[in-house]
A and B are shown apart, each in its own frame.
Chain A
Amino acid sequence: MSREKILAAVKFNQPTANPLPDMEVLNTLTDVRTELLAKYKTIATAGGSFVYEVSGFDEIKTILKNEFKPGVKIISALDELSDYIYADTVKHEDGHTFADVELTVLRTNLGVAENGALWLTEKEMGSRVLPFIAQHLAVVIGKDDFVPTMAQAYQTIGEADYGYGSFISGPSKTADIEQSLVIGAHGPRSLSVFILL
């Protein structure tokens, strides 16, 4: 019905074929040897993230214990943190039960220096809603896991098969009221990034 009608109209009206542009220049333009880590730190911090360089998970635990009161609901699928937080298998059916989660800690292996974005898929999240519904979000990433721009980020992702994935570049924010920046719109009120050195 409408499908055929729309496709026929589009086919009739579309211009003659124009080729896709070459992407190679954009892919290689950015000097990959630039100080990625320094650039990421500057941009992520400007975007409202707290960036920590840490030697290992013990240091992460120390920092988190300082920041979060004992007894609050903290969820993570990271085995390395199992003695500190609830690290059971997270299922998406539990989505609504995460409403009182104070902190969730996730792991990624792709960060983007030019915009502070961290790539997380459903696999790392456990439940899609978790990095949004938690009051605070922390992400662990290795120091060698950064790429310069989104061009390289999509090269890294390649043809990966995921049900859902998101680039997250900071805490949830809004500037809808008179362009005043407010951190903590609907999602996490803070994003802490732990870079494993």
Chain B
Amino acid sequence: MSTATTKDHPHLAAEFNRDEPRVNWHDETLWWVRAKRDIAAHKLPEWELLRETASQIKLNVLSNLSTYLEQFEANAIKNGIIVHWAADAAEHNQIVHNLLEQRGITKMVKSKSMLTEECHLNEYLKEQGIDVIDSDLGERIVQLANEPPSHIVLPCIHKKKEEIGDIFHEHLGSAKGESDPKILTETARQHLREVFLTRRAALTGVNFAVAETGEFVICTNEGNADMGAHLAEIHIASMGIEKIIPERKHLGVFLRLLTRSATGQPITTYSSHFSKPQDGTEIHIVIVDNGRSIQLGREEFRNSLKCIRCGACMNTCPVYRKSGGHSYHTAVAGPIGSILAPNLDMKKYADLPFASTLCGSCSNVCPVKIDIHDQLYKWRQVIVKEGYSPKTKTMAMKAMALTLASPTLYRMGGKTGRLVFKYAPFAVNNKLNPWYNQREMPKAPDESFGEWYAKRKGAKNS
């Protein structure tokens, strides 16, 4: 289940690309979701105003975050909620474990929370002897497959129904060869109902936390967060510090944008507002920093903290669609993940800002108008300056800069290239040349534009 890997994005993408029909299927499925997003967005004449408003609200949040966090905490406490603070992933995991241990709880049900993926909570709790079951269908599937989610909204988008059928046959006892999504979903329903009814603790994520009221909102289509939370004695909600919004009425902006951007639905089936615990039960909130306050201080990258985790930038990204979520080797994949991850570990994730064509499609669909592709470009500059870019790439770039700066070298290089293409094509058309993979090398012209122009000028003058 560990996402730790020594392979970088190009290598992991190459592995994903070995099965070309699967890549095409993955690509088309995600593009279909992107197209549904477009239809939903175009139905609202005020769409662009909504995006701009959401972006401005989030900018206000970032500039008043310390005040809003204190306000949220005070109001949540007033509502009877217990608030914890975690500086990093380890502290978050420890807080959760302590809460369970104090109550002698060894089994927990958990709904989707990318923050707990980021903190590797499941692995940690497993080591402590705590059994965690993910209740979102997609997350349950990847959990049984011993894999991390490959997409923040569609965790098992990389899996075919036949593979899911095999997993369910092995773990949940469905009939061998059964791959009908309806029947598989029913199998999971029965299995997880039993889980919901027997777990004393439930952990959920948080989509939005309202400073003004101390309430928090969780959005699901399946109802799994609610099933878990309402049947448990203790509900633990994990949230990053950036989930704060100022006032309840601002939910009216974000809930209109979130699901339309994510899947093209006008809203999730359930948008649940938790304000106070039910009698006899407890709600705990763990507010997690884990590098976010550092990102807040990076002027060029702080806008990434506006993200509401809709996944639209992944669905539209030509690189994500064709390389798969796992190739990003981080909890949040795709364009947004590629600007969040280097903040946590610049060396480990130095490859991610380069996993982009910089086409800008991500920025165009982002519901809170994060300048994603600009930030990817800026991260590249930071990473090269800090010396974290791959050596071959740095050398190649230096050679290129030298060549472009000198007319002599430039002409010589061009001439050599054309000669090689003409007389020794095997020197470039081979597996040692990464450009040759999945590409035909171009035919080189006999002469350069410069040579042609000089000849033409000479002919005219004579």
- The interface of chain A, by Cβ under 8 A from chain B, is 1-3, 5-7, 9-21, 23, 25-26, 29-30, 43, 47, 92-93, 95-96, 99, 112, 114-117, 122, 127-129, 132-133, 149-151, 153-155, 157, 159, 162-180, 182, 184-188
Please tell me if the beta carbons of A178 and B267 are within 8 angstroms of each other in the complex: no
Of B223, B280, B293, chain A has the most CB atoms within 10 Å of the CB of B223
Please tell me if the beta carbons of A155 and B249 are within 8 angstroms of each other in the complex: yes
Beta-carbon contacts under 8 Å, B33-64 to A: 33, 45-46, 49-50, 52-53, 56-57, 59-60, 62-64
Of A15, A132, A153, A187, chain B has the most CB atoms within 10 Å of the CB of A132
Distance (Å) between the CB of A80 and the closest chain B CB?
Answer: 26
A165 surroundings in chain B (CB, below 8 A):
272-273, 275
Please tell me if the beta carbons of A176 and B141 are within 8 angstroms of each other in the complex: yes
Q: CA of A175 to CA of B29 in the docked complex: distance in angstroms?
A: 12
Q: CB of B351 within 8 A of chain A? A: no
Please tell me if the beta carbons of A13 and B293 are within 8 angstroms of each other in the complex: yes
Please tell me if the beta carbons of B49 and A26 are within 8 angstroms of each other in the complex: yes
For A155, give the chain B residue with the smallest CB separation: B249
Candidates B85, B155, B224, B278; contact of A2 at CB < 8 Å: B85
Question: By DSSP majority rule, is chain B's interface helix, strand, loop, or mixed?
Answer: helix
A30 surroundings in chain B (CB, below 8 A):
46
Distance (Å) between the CB of A12 and the closest chain B CB?
Answer: 7
Distance (Å) between the CB of A3 and the closest chain B CB?
Answer: 4
Distance (Å) between the CB of B121 and the closest chain A CB?
Answer: 17
Candidates B56, B256, B294; contact of A20 at CB < 8 Å: B56
Please tell me if the beta carbons of B29 and A178 are within 8 angstroms of each other in the complex: yes
Q: CB of B21 within 8 A of chain A? A: no
Please tell me if the beta carbons of A99 and B197 are within 8 angstroms of each other in the complex: yes
Please tell me if the beta carbons of A179 and B29 are within 8 angstroms of each other in the complex: yes
Tell me whether A186 and B302 are in contact in the complex, defined as CB-CB below 8 angstroms, given that A6-B293, A14-B296, A29-B49 are known contacts. Answer: no
Q: Which 7 A-B pairs have the closest CB atoms?
A: A187-B223, A13-B297, A115-B266, A176-B138, A185-B222, A129-B230, A9-B293
B154 surroundings in chain A (CB, below 8 A):
175-176, 179
Please tell me if the beta carbons of B248 and A157 are within 8 angstroms of each other in the complex: yes
Candidates B32, B63, B157; contact of A16 at CB < 8 Å: B63
- The interface of chain B, by Cβ under 8 A from chain A, is 29, 32-33, 45-46, 49-50, 52-53, 56-57, 59-60, 62-66, 69-70, 85-87, 91, 135-138, 141, 154-157, 159-161, 164, 181-182, 184-186, 188-189, 192-193, 196-197, 221-224, 226-227, 230-231, 241, 246, 248-253, 255-256, 263, 265-280, 287, 289, 293-294, 296-297, 299, 302
7 contacts between A and B (CB under 8 A): A6-B293, A26-B53, A128-B278, A129-B231, A150-B267, A169-B270, A186-B223
Candidates B46, B223, B278; contact of A172 at CB < 8 Å: B223
Please tell me if the beta carbons of A164 and B278 are within 8 angstroms of each other in the complex: yes
Candidates A9, A14, A170; contact of B64 at CB < 8 Å: A14
Please tell me if the beta carbons of B33 and A99 are within 8 angstroms of each other in the complex: no
Distance (Å) between the CB of B205 and the closest chain A CB?
Answer: 16
Please tell me if the beta carbons of B275 and A177 are within 8 angstroms of each other in the complex: no
Distance (Å) between the CB of B433 and the closest chain A CB?
Answer: 37
Q: CA of A151 to CA of B256 in the docked complex: distance in angstroms?
A: 9
Please tell me if the beta carbons of B222 and A186 are within 8 angstroms of each other in the complex: yes
For B43, give the chain A residue with the smallest CB separation: A114
Distance (Å) between the CB of B171 and the closest chain A CB?
Answer: 15
Candidates A43, A163, A186; contact of B196 at CB < 8 Å: A186
For A149, give the chain B residue with the smallest CB separation: B256
Tell me whether A150 and B256 are in contact in the complex, defined as CB-CB below 8 angstroms, given that A23-B53, A129-B231 are known contacts. Answer: yes
Please tell me if the beta carbons of A176 and B137 are within 8 angstroms of each other in the complex: yes
Of A25, A29, A93, A154, chain B has the most CB atoms within 10 Å of the CB of A154
B246 surroundings in chain A (CB, below 8 A):
20
Distance (Å) between the CB of A14 and the closest chain B CB?
Answer: 5
A177 surroundings in chain B (CB, below 8 A):
137, 141, 156, 161, 164, 181, 184-185
Q: CA of A114 to CA of B41 in the docked complex: distance in angstroms?
A: 12
B60 surroundings in chain A (CB, below 8 A):
17-21
Q: CA of A12 to CA of B63 in the docked complex: distance in angstroms?
A: 10
